Amino acid sequence: MDGMNFSDKNQCPEADALVYDDGVKARVDHLYERVKDVVTPMEWPKFAPLVDAILRLKQERGATILAHNYMTPEIFNCVGDITGDSLKLAQVAAEADEDIILQAGVHFMAETAKILSPNKTVLIPDMDAGCSLASSITGEDVQRIKAAYPDLPIVTYVNTSADVKAWSDICCTSSNAVQVVESVARQWGVDTVIMIPDEYLAKNVAAQTDIKILTWKGSCEVHEMFTPQDIDDLRAAHPDAVILTHPECPPEVMARADFAGSTGAMAGYVKDKSPAKAILITECSMSDNVAVENPDVDFVKPCNLCPHMKRITLTGIYEALRDLKHEVEVDPVIAQKARASLQAMLDLPKATTPPSFETGKDAVAVPYVAV
Per CB under 6 A, residues contacting ligand SF4 are 70, 106, 131-133, 159, 220-222, 283, 306, 308-309
- Measured from the CB atom, the residue of 53 and 312 that comes closer to ligand SF4 is 312
* CA angle, residues 353, 243, 33, in degrees to nearest 5: 100
- Which residues, at least 6 apart from 359, have a Cβ–Cβ distance to it below 8 Å? 245, 254, 255, 256, 257, 258, 259, 260
Task: Phi first, then psi: give them for residue 174, nearest 5 degrees.
Answer: -75, -10
Cβ 304 to ligand SF4 shortest distance, Å: 8
- Measured from the CB atom, the residue of 72 and 183 that comes closer to ligand SF4 is 72
Cβ 131 to ligand SF4 shortest distance, Å: 3
- Measured from the CB atom, the residue of 29 and 221 that comes closer to ligand SF4 is 221
Cβ 223 to ligand SF4 shortest distance, Å: 6
Cβ 198 to ligand SF4 shortest distance, Å: 8
- Measured from the CB atom, the residue of 1 and 305 that comes closer to ligand SF4 is 305
- Measured from the CB atom, the residue of 141 and 224 that comes closer to ligand SF4 is 224
Cβ 197 to ligand SF4 shortest distance, Å: 10
Look at strands 154-157 and 100-104 and give their pairing: unpaired
Cβ 213 to ligand SF4 shortest distance, Å: 19
Contact between 322 and 57 under an 8 Å Cβ cutoff? The reply is yes
State how far the alpha carbon of 175 is from the alpha carbons of 111, 247, 283, in Å.
20, 9, 17
- Measured from the CB atom, the residue of 106 and 335 that comes closer to ligand SF4 is 106
